[in-house]
Amino acid sequence: MSEAGIVGGIPGVPPGRLFDDRDALIAAKVHRNKQYGIDFDGRSGLATAIVLSGGYADDKDYGDRILYTGERGRDPRTGRHVKDQTWTLGNQGLRRAHLEGSPVRVVRGANGNGPDLPESGYRYDGLYLVTECSEGERDGFRICQFTLELLPSNEVSVGPGLAELEGGTRYPGRRTTSSSRIVRDAKIARDVKRRHDFTCQICGIRLEVPGGAIAEGAHIRPLGLRHAGPDVPSNLLCLCPNDHALFDHGALWIDESLTIWVSATGEPIGTLRTVAGHAIDLDALAYHRDQIVTGP
Amino acid sequence: MSEAGIVGGIPGVPPGRLFDDRDALIAAKVHRNKQYGIDFDGRSGLATAIVLSGGYADDKDYGDRILYTGERGRDPRTGRHVKDQTWTLGNQGLRRAHLEGSPVRVVRGANGNGPDLPESGYRYDGLYLVTECSEGERDGFRICQFTLELLPSNEVSVGPGLAELEGGTRYPGRRTTSSSRIVRDAKIARDVKRRHDFTCQICGIRLEVPGGAIAEGAHIRPLGLRHAGPDVPSNLLCLCPNDHALFDHGALWIDESLTIWVSATGEPIGTLRTVAGHAIDLDALAYHRDQIVTGP
């Protein structure tokens, strides 16, 4: 693996392409690791591809969404966890792909569990985005957990050296969301933000812009398939974009007395600001601390 | 207009519903202003609906995307601009809808310009998001400009009191992007962020999270139909999410000597941080200052 791994699509390898075995995947540079599920590129620090095969009960393949458990820590004969997974190598590579918004190639093997598998061998199934990264426990050991979601085909990279194809100018009919900070917020989030007058509950900043002020509605326990948090005001915080990002990535957590802690240092930095009429769900805060705050 | 306007869909009024005239739109609460194109709700400060009719040359209707010019300042007989438009009333309401991510009902009239118009009267065509807000000049006068984009139907509000329908838990097959801060970044943005080691070029902060650090790639001259900025490194900045939001909303601008100015106060706050190998497009900075920074 002296050569840097390719991030994104491999030129000449469209989704749906079949491969006889893992040697063929390696030769095509689609997935260059024969032993592990995650192809980790040491040079960039990014995971570039995963293989879904072997039918680990930890993994759930819904087609366009995948709940994926990290590598190592399992007994290869039984599939049971026999030691903690660590945030190193492939697991850390997937976490960095999550942090950088970097796409991951997904390959499905005939012996996987899922709604649409190849009849034999392996099939390259396109580019996915790591949309969640969290910690869980299985058989008494720590596991690294990821959610991957299929990227729309018109936002898909077509290979190295063609970066300009990814950005949107080639697709005038569609704006990618990648670089736009204008997001739609649901009514419930708009209501919470207004109640706090767009003031961040963590740092107290109120970002003033022409025409008003801006803030973001941040879910404490995330919505979606894996975490299934409720979309109610008590599961929302009004945060500035920076603290929203820090909170979502587990750099900060909040205890039951609403003290705010920095995960990396273990030091408190203040108390969550509250307003009358907007209660905070303490169970959601505990969930966030236990599952979203990942180890070093 | 003593009653508060409804934000989002009107219960019982599906997209495609036809109306004979503007009185019928008012009776159904779809668009409650008979004179102007923008239905502005004074209580919330939000624009809740627009009517596309009259065929102003300023407006471009592409169906799922609309380039829309604000209200007032035009001679109603000729359609020519005869004075500056101001960021008040309906124009300010659309700007606030942009800031808050609040949906806007779109109504098309038979006498509009567009690819799909009703044969007579008016048609309610669903909810749009205000994705851009900028200033321009026409006939020598200032105009307020907006881009609206059709919301996917499964993210569409169905009326007041049903806020939970907007958030995503009802749609387990699809995550809305509204509250997730995990966005995909194109390769070009990832490269710029890495070159700056995820340090904000405006404030110098480096947001550390478990597994690394995070930043965002911010386009100086926006991509897309209206602004058509290029997706090249010199049109990108590496910014923290807060400064990305402030810059995109025109709260900050940067001059040709790379001094950073606060729009509201007219005061400088520092100099843009640069690194070797990442040149900044000064024309793009001038475009941002002239078009994206809107007046008070």
Encode pLDDT of B195-238 as tens digits: 999 999 999 999 999 999 999 999 999 987 789 898 899 999 99
Q: What is the mean pLDDT of residues A255-283?
A: 97
Instruction: State which H helix or E strand residue B239 sits in.
Output: strand B236-239
By Cβ distance, the residue of B99, B168, B295 closest to A231 is: B168
> Residue A263, Cα to own-chain centre: how many angstroms?
18
Q: Considering only alpha carbons, which residue of chain B is nearest residue A103?
A: B184
What pLDDT score does A55 carry?
67
- Residue B8, φ and ψ in degrees, nearest 5: 100, -160
What pLDDT score does B154 carry?
45
Q: Identify any residues that bridge with B129 across adjacent strands, giving them in sequence order.
A: B103, B149
What span, in angstroms and rounded, lies between the C-alpha atoms of B220 and B248? 8
- Burial environment of residue A113 by CB neighbours within 10 A (0 to 12, 13 to 18, 19 or more): middle
Q: What amino acid occupies position B157? A: S
The pLDDT tens digits of the residues spanning A39-74 come to: 999 999 999 999 998 767 788 999 999 999 999 999
Kindly list the residues from chain A whose CB atom is less than 8 angstroms away from the CB atom of residue B133.
Answer: 211
Q: Considering only alpha carbons, which residue of chain A is nearest residue B233?
A: A164
The pLDDT tens digits of the residues spanning B143-159 come to: 999 999 998 764 443 32
Better pLDDT: A106 or B169: A106
Chain A: closest CA distance from residue B81 (Å): 23
Chain B: closest CA distance from residue A245 (Å): 6
Chain A: closest CA distance from residue B34 (Å): 25
A–B CB contacts, 8 A cutoff, strictly below: 268
What is this model's ipTM? 0.85
- Residue A278, φ and ψ in degrees, nearest 5: -135, 85
What span, in angstroms and rounded, lies between the C-alpha atoms of A184 and B157? 11
Contact check, Cβ <8 Å, B214/A294 = no
Annotate B63-89 with b (16+ C-beta within 10 A) or e (fewer): eebbbbbbbbbbeeeeeebeeebbbeb
Chain A: closest CA distance from residue B232 (Å): 7
Contact check, Cβ <8 Å, B101/A295 = no
* Cβ–Cβ < 8 Å for A47, A96: yes
- pLDDT of A140 higher than 60: yes
Q: How many CB atoms lie within 10 A of CB A77?
A: 6
What pLDDT score does B184 carry?
52
Positive/negative CA dihedral, B207, B212, B215, B216 = negative
Q: What is the mean pLDDT of residues A201-208?
A: 98
What pLDDT score does B225 carry?
79
Chain B: closest CA distance from residue A19 (Å): 27
Better pLDDT: A169 or A13: A13
Kindly list the residues from chain B whose CB atom is less than 8 angstroms away from the CB atom of residue A172.
Answer: 224-225
- Residue A207, φ and ψ in degrees, nearest 5: -85, 105
Contact check, Cβ <8 Å, B131/A193 = no
Contact check, Cβ <8 Å, B100/A129 = no
By Cβ distance, the residue of A155, A245, A263 closest to B241 is: A245
Q: Say which residue the tokens 């769900």 belong to.
A: A281
- In B53-92, the residues whose Cβ lies within 8 Å of chain A are 87, 92
What pLDDT score does B194 carry?
95
The pLDDT tens digits of the residues spanning B91-106 come to: 999 999 999 989 999 9
What pLDDT score does B3 carry?
67
What pLDDT score does A184 carry?
52
By Cβ distance, the residue of B129, B179, B211 closest to A96 is: B211
- pLDDT of B41 higher than 60: yes
Contact check, Cβ <8 Å, B131/A180 = yes
Beta strands in chain A (DSSP E): 18-19, 38-41, 46-52, 60-61, 65-69, 103-109, 122-138, 141-150, 207-209, 212-214, 216-219, 236-239, 252-254, 259-262, 268-271
- In A162-221, the residues whose Cβ lies within 8 Å of chain B are 163-164, 166-169, 172, 175-191, 193, 205, 207-214, 216-219
Q: Kindly indicate the confidence band of residue B56, based on its pLDDT and cuts at 50, 70 and 90.
A: confident
Tokens describing residue A41 = 């590129």
Q: Say which residue the tokens 């705050």 belong to.
A: A293
Q: Considering only alpha carbons, which residue of chain B is nearest residue A101?
A: B184
Q: What are the CA-CA distances from residue A97 to residues A87, A177, A230, B132, B180 (Å)?
A: 13, 17, 27, 29, 16
The pLDDT tens digits of the residues spanning B69-85 come to: 999 999 988 889 999 99
Chain B: closest CA distance from residue A168 (Å): 7
Contact check, Cβ <8 Å, B193/A100 = yes
- pLDDT of B128 higher than 80: yes
Q: Considering only alpha carbons, which residue of chain A is nearest residue B212?
A: A96
Kindly list the residues from chain A whose CB atom is less than 8 angstroms away from the CB atom of residue B164.
Answer: 188, 231-232
- Quote the percentage of chain A above a pLDDT of 90: 72
- pLDDT of B42 higher than 50: yes
Q: What is the mean pLDDT of residues B3-22?
A: 92
By Cβ distance, the residue of B187, B213, B263 closest to A163 is: B187
* Cβ–Cβ < 8 Å for A167, A178: yes
